[in-house]
Amino acid sequence: MNDKPPVPAATILMLRDGEQGLEVFMVVRHHQIDFASGALVFPGGKIDAADQLAKDYCDGVAGATDYQVAMQVGAIREAFEECGVLLARAQGQTDLISGDRLAQLSDYREKIHAGDISFADFLAQEQLRLACDVLIPFAHWVTPSMMPKRFDTWFYLAVAPSDHLAVHDGTESVDSIWISPENALIGEKEGTYTIIFPTRLNIELLGESGTVSAAISAATHHDIKTVLPWTETREDGTYLCIPSDAGYALSEEKMPAR
């Protein structure tokens, strides 16, 4: 039993419409990472203590709590660090920054990750504002206390800017792919990909929409419930369970025998 409080974290399901329909950007975690090593995941990570300090550089956070702002800032920061997409605008502009401007900022990815410059100072220095208004809340999961590493994670949807080249960082993630929910699930069944339970259920939920606009619409009208999984021991084995009203196609799954 892990009595420590879960670590705040955030992730973005970056979406685009591909030739066959909806696609999401995913990365493969480095095998030496201590959580979900080698797994196919959405880019994201832990919230930094300084993330809420960027509140003055955010669009769309009026009325948001410091916690909500930190989650959104952390999600955008992690996407920038991990896959090079930056959901931001130049001050006074309505459009997201161009791919050319993004390329000029690429050197900051490692500096921010290493703590050489804070995210807020980067935004101030480059006169940028985070486009928190383009983030659509999608899901909220908390790792159960039986796990050695616990996270309190918000999942957001965002439309990927068409001229931002999403690519893994080569450090925390070692590969990346634009993939349809259907092909991700097929790959998991065939053993091509390792996908952990929360990621798989959120891929399945995303896959109920065939296009980006449909996914955004569905998430906008979806009542998000916090999902804290638990286990139940029954005569035929141990089951991993989630609330039946959480909005997912299944609410329990038998765990493999150890």
Q: What is the per-residue pLDDT across 175-190, written as a single tens digit (0 to 9) for each?
A: 788 999 999 999 999 9
Return the H-helix or E-strand segment holding 152: strand 151-159
Q: What is the pLDDT of residue 149?
A: 87
What does the alpha-carbon distance between residue 247 and residue 54 come to, in Å, rounded to a whole number?
32
What does the alpha-carbon distance between residue 39 and residue 36 come to, in Å, rounded to a whole number?
5
CA separation, residue 142 to residues 14, 114, 164 (Å): 21, 27, 31
CA torsion angle 89 93 95 97 (round to 10): -40
In CATH, what is the architecture of 7-223? Alpha-Beta Complex (3.90)
Over residues 186-200, mean pLDDT: 91
Task: Note the maximum CA span of the chain.
Answer: 63
pLDDT of 35 higher than 90: no
Task: Indicate the range of 88-92, 174-178, 185-189, 252-256 predicted with least confidence.
Answer: 174-178
What does the alpha-carbon distance between residue 82 and residue 140 come to, in Å, rounded to a whole number?
21
